[in-house]
Amino acid sequence: MKKKVLLIEDEPNIIEAVSFILSRDGWEVKTHSNGHDAMETVRLRTPDLIILDVMLPGKSGFDILAEIRGDAEFAETPVLMLTARGQMKDREMAEKAGASQYMTKPFSNADVLAAVRDLVGA
């Protein structure tokens, strides 16, 4: 059975690139592009891993991460935060919020794939 990843991202180029590299690696990739109902999508999709952008329309990735960590069913689900904001304070905020890993844009396809495999023990 394929591992499921939910990509919550609003930039079409990143959605396309990440979806392509993960699908090619055998992942089932579902995408969602706004923050306001992202948690509903997490509950609907029950992913093995979530890739979450920080800056989303409707709600920030940090707020969504807090919801994920506050939900008993998904509290332990690995979350890879993707962001254009690479300052130390942003990284610290992500760690405090419970991000499993933090990656800044731009990123290499190999780095994303390695992070995803590492987070699910693949």
Kindly report, residue by residue over 21-66, the tens digit of the pLDDT. Answer: 999 999 999 999 999 999 999 999 999 999 999 999 999 999 999 9
pLDDT of the residue at 122: 63
Find the domain containing 47 and state its range.
4-120
Tally of domains in the chain: 1
Kindly report, residue by residue over 77-117, the tens digit of the pLDDT. Answer: 999 999 887 788 888 888 888 999 999 988 999 999 999 99
User: Which CATH number characterizes residue 111's domain?
Assistant: 3.40.50.2300
Determine what percent of the chain is predicted with pLDDT higher than 70.
Answer: 99
What contacts 87, CB < 8 A, 6 or more positions away? none
pLDDT of the residue at 71: 97
pLDDT of the residue at 91: 84
Which string of DSSP letters, residue by residue, matches 45-101?
Answer: H--SEEEEESS-SSS-HHHHHHHHHHSTTTTTS-EEEEES--SHHHHHHHHHHT-SE
Kindly report, residue by residue over 62-73, the tens digit of the pLDDT. Answer: 999 999 999 999
pLDDT of the residue at 69: 97
- Give the pTM: 0.95
Is the pLDDT at 1 greater than 80, yes or no? no
